[in-house]
Amino acid sequence: MGFFRRLFSFWKKRENTEETAGQEERKSFFLYIVRVPEIVTYLRREQGISRKNLELALVDDPERPAYQIVQIAELLTADLNLLYIVTGRPEIFEELAEEAMEEHGLLIVVFEEVPGERIPGNLVLDIREWEKHLDIINTVSYNTMII
């Protein structure tokens, strides 16, 4: 009887550990999403790019659900003059491009991703490399992204 209890408790601990790891990964990405405008402002200032001259390129991550990438782009639409989106799934961003033009006068140019081709814009926000370069964000501040 004691063997089965130990086996059951071991199994329960293992499930809880796996569940917590998945929640932490999801939680950290959502923390980054809410901070995107602040991060872009910080990076723009670090690079010495004025707000009116900012041409942001957002590189899509095919591993992430499309709604997350669209949410990031929506958060940025109010503060930009030109946004490039480099993606392998351009149909997802067509509606966003139309809405941004109507509501904010923002031109969103959607490019197909071509390996080895230069990414347009003077500041690149690569979602594929997102969590590799950003440290964990706390409630007060965040660390910089290496460009």
DSSP 8-state class, residue 53: G
* Of 52 and 30, more confident: 52
pLDDT in tens, 33-87: 888 888 889 888 999 999 889 999 999 988 888 898 999 999 988 878 899 999 9
Residues 6+ apart with CB under 8 A from 15: none
pLDDT in tens, 131-147: 666 554 444 444 444 44
- 3-class secondary-structure state, position 57: strand
